[in-house]
Structure 1
Amino acid sequence: MNEFEAAKAKAAAAYNAAADYFDHPVSSFWHRFGRRTVERLGLRAGETVLDVCCGSGGSALPAAEAVGAQGKVVAVDLAERLVALGKTKAREKGLGNIEFEAADMLSLGYPDASFDVVVCVFGIFFVPDMVAATRELWRMVRPNGRLAITTWGPELFEPANAAFWEAIRDERPDLLRGFNPWERISTPAGLREMLAEAGIGEAEIVAEAGSHPIRSPDDWWLIAMGSGYRGTLTQLDGATLARVRERNLALLERCEAITTNVLYSVAVR
């Protein structure tokens, strides 16, 4: 298995495992930032949208509402269980203009200039080559269309993130990660550089500082179980998982919020 295939399998496994907690109310930020991404695009009735790394529809569902019955949204994600959640929500909302599909954003097979808008929220950093992935998304944008890439800003989920990895270090230091891929693009300068390497000369980039309240350390654990951290947690046996949870939560006894800084970028082709 090459590097790309390994990264793809790892991301799919983590988020399929996380699907049972992904839409828990404590993790409402997925949908909040998805909706904000769509609001910044100013979608028009009748437009066609491709949403990659769509999760359970945080940006795809509001996009479908915005483009109306004459428009269309294609929403894809590697995690089949998240796609299933999105399909259910679209059906419950009566949205007949959206298609959810379990697929790889780099091998969709659409011709050049297939969509008015392409969206990727918290997903571009899951591929080993973000520049190549961005170039592929840009290829599918029509002239005068838009590409929206939303990613995490600095200090993601702190102080809970540091507490999580400290707890992992105590039990399974072999699972520690030396680098989070989104860190390269967690500042406007870093994101702009990556976009430029992908052939996008101009983009509007907005950095938004934020925090997400947690009522107790248990809220953080639910967030971890419903996010990419689940990929690490699934590698622990039951006893180790219990110790990691206890240690992680003990370090957050006085924590009332976690950092959720975000970068929004929109480029017009």
Structure 2
Amino acid sequence: MSKDLDSFDTKATYSDASLDYATAAEEFWGFVSDDTADLIGPRPGQRVLDLCCGPGPMTIRSAERVGAHGYVEAVDILPEMRAITRDRARERGLDQVTVRHGDIDELPPGDASFDVVNCSLGLYFAKDMARSLASFWSYVRPGGTLAVTTIGRRLFEPVLPVFFAACRAEQPGMGTYLPWVRTEDPDVLRALAAEARLTGVHVSTRDTPMPLPSPGAWWPIVHGSGLRRLETELDPGAQDRVRRTCEEWITAHRITQLNVGTVRLIATRGRDGVPYTVPA
């Protein structure tokens, strides 16, 4: 599995797609952030750490909820994503937002000072997921909450299998590995939580219908997600044929919505300050 992860160039995929991903974050991924924010808070005056913030949908929603007396720290490895998050916070006058560089493979131990620590759609990029999860946990204060959202098995059904088949028809033998398959099984998150010594753990799955307003709306999803990695392996002519195949299939089958499957881990630290230990 680590060899498969090495084959996926995260920085190139998401740096190149930063603006497309930013658009998709509002149009297609924003509801994931809304759903998470509704589930875990945050509340006015709280401190929030948003790891793998990307273009900042959860950062912005958190800042709006904690208000001027709260604080949100957004962390991402990519400068393009950090710039977008910083600009969006500035445009909205959210002075309580700080954006900084951070790699979830190399996070220093935290000081247990955050009420909410969130990592949406990012844990599966970590080389050692249990170690990274334990690092996340070290930032959660007593009584605080850690929320991790990953992608589930039924992502973008029913169109994604059509996209995969069309890509392989253009380039037989193309690998369609995507990092999020590492955590699509909820039992994987449960095992990682146990290894990372989390407490108050609840893992659940959720399938959410997402509107697909037109056949042409599919391609921006490809551009604004990790699927872009597969697209960029094809030459422009092949890309156009794959796009047309998908749009024609969507039209023929009258597809008006996609499923977005997610897996969510919520952990709550006891108010007695359950100690954390980052696995060796």
* TM-score grouping bracket, smaller chain normalisation: 0.7 to 0.9
Distance 1:55 1:25, change over 3 A: closer
User: Which is further off, 162-171 or 17-26?
Assistant: 17-26
Native 8 Å contact 1:17 1:231 kept in 2: no
Q: Determine the C-alpha separation between the residues in 2 that align with 1:5 and 1:80.
A: 21
SS in 1 for 2:110: coil
Kindly report the root-mean-square deviation, in angstroms, between the aligned alpha carbons of the 2 structures.
Answer: 2.5
Instruction: Give identity over the alignment, percent.
Output: 35
* Matched letter for residue 13 of structure 2: A
Partner Cα separation in structure 2 for residue 26 and residue 150 of structure 1:
15
Correspondence for 2:256: 256
Which residue identity lines up with residue 167 of structure 2 in the other structure?
Answer: I
Q: Secondary structure at the match of 1:149?
A: strand
Give 1:1-269 correspondences, 5 Å limit.
Answer: 6=6, 10-24=9-23, 28-109=27-108, 111-177=110-176, 179-253=177-251, 254=253, 255-269=255-269
Indicate conservation of the 8 Å contact 1:53/1:76, yes or no.
yes
1:27–1:223: 8 Å Cα contact kept in structure 2? Answer: no
With the length of structure 2 as denominator, give the TM-score of the two structures. Answer: 0.85
Q: Quick one: structure 1 residues 16 and 116, their matched pair in 2 at CA, closer, same or farther if it must change by over 3 Å?
A: same
User: Quick one: distance in 2 between partners of 1:176 and 1:246?
Assistant: 21
Q: CA deviation at 1:174?
A: 4.3
Equivalent residue pairs, number: 266
201-210 or 90-99, which deviates more: 201-210
Which amino acid is the alignment partner of residue 258 of structure 2?
A: I
TM-score normalised by the chain length of structure 1: 0.88
Unaligned ranges ≥5, structure 2: 270-280
Name the amino acid aligned to 2:205: A
> Given that residues 63 and 96 in structure 2 are in contact (C-alpha distance below 8 angstroms), is that contact kept between their aligned partners in structure 1?
yes
Distance 1:27 1:67 in 2: 20
Could you tell me whether the CA contact under 8 Å between 1:114 and 1:142 is conserved in 2?
Answer: yes
